[in-house]
Amino acid sequence: MRTITLNAVRNLGILAHVDAGKTTLTERVLFATGTTYKRGEVHDGTTVTDFDPQERDRGITIFSAAVSCTWDGHRINLIDTPGHVDFSDEVERALRVLDGAVAVFDGVVGVEPQSESVWRQADRHGVPRIAFVNKLDRAGADLDTAVESIRTRLNTVPLVVQLPIGAEDGFVGVVDLVRMRALTWEDSLEEGPVPETLMAEAQRRRRLLEETVAELHPEAIEEFFAGGLSDETLRKALRELTRQGAGTVVLCGSAYRNRGVEPLLDAVIAYLPSPVDVPPVRGVDGEERRPDPDAPFAALVFKVNATANGRLTYVRVYSGTLHKGETVSVEGRAERIGRILRVQADRHTPVDQATAGDIVALVGLKSARTGTTLCAPTAPLLLEPPVSADPVVSVA
- What residue ranges bind ligand GDP (CB under 6 A)? 16, 18-24, 42, 60-61, 83, 134-135, 137-138, 254-256
Q: How far is the CB of 142 from ligand GDP (least distance, A)?
A: 14
324 known member of a binding site: no
217 known member of a binding site: no
19 known member of a binding site: yes
Whose Cβ is closer to ligand GDP: residue 253's or residue 291's? 253
Q: How far is CA 314 from CA 67, 80, 117, 358, in A?
A: 11, 12, 25, 10
User: Is residue 150 classed as helix, strand or coil in its secondary structure?
Assistant: helix
361 known member of a binding site: no
Rounded CA gap, 44 and 50, in Å?
12
Q: How far is the CB of 281 from ligand GDP (least distance, A)?
A: 29
CA-wise closest residue to 16 among 171, 125, 135, 126 = 135
Packing angle between helix 261-271 and helix 22-32, nearest 10 degrees? 80
Whose Cβ is closer to ligand GDP: residue 51's or residue 216's? 51
Q: How far is the CB of 24 from ligand GDP (least distance, A)?
A: 3
16 known member of a binding site: yes
103 known member of a binding site: no
Q: How far is the CB of 147 from ligand GDP (least distance, A)?
A: 17
Whose Cβ is closer to ligand GDP: residue 156's or residue 254's? 254
Whose Cβ is closer to ligand GDP: residue 115's or residue 248's? 115
**Partners of 69 in the β-ladder:** 76
236 known member of a binding site: no
Which H helix or E strand runs over 130? strand 129-134
Whose Cβ is closer to ligand GDP: residue 80's or residue 210's? 80
18 known member of a binding site: yes
Say if residues 267 and 249 touch (Cβ distance below 8 Å): yes
Whose Cβ is closer to ligand GDP: residue 42's or residue 328's? 42
Say if residues 156 and 150 touch (Cβ distance below 8 Å): yes
Q: How far is the CB of 135 from ligand GDP (least distance, A)?
A: 4
User: Is residue 110 classed as helix, strand or coil in its secondary structure?
Assistant: strand
296 known member of a binding site: no
Rounded CA gap, 67 and 93, in Å?
16
125 known member of a binding site: no
Q: What are phi and psi of 217, to 5 degrees?
A: -125, 105
Amino acid at 265: L
Which H helix or E strand runs over 147? helix 143-154
Q: How far is the CB of 126 from ligand GDP (least distance, A)?
A: 24
Rounded CA gap, 330 and 62, in Å?
26
Whose Cβ is closer to ligand GDP: residue 39's or residue 236's? 39
Q: How far is the CB of 140 from ligand GDP (least distance, A)?
A: 11
Say if residues 66 and 79 touch (Cβ distance below 8 Å): yes
Say if residues 132 and 104 touch (Cβ distance below 8 Å): yes
Say if residues 154 and 119 touch (Cβ distance below 8 Å): yes
Whose Cβ is closer to ligand GDP: residue 26's or residue 373's? 26
Q: How far is the CB of 30 from ligand GDP (least distance, A)?
A: 13
Specify binding-site residues: 16-23, 80-84, 134-137
Specify binding-site residues for GTP: 16-23, 80-84, 134-137
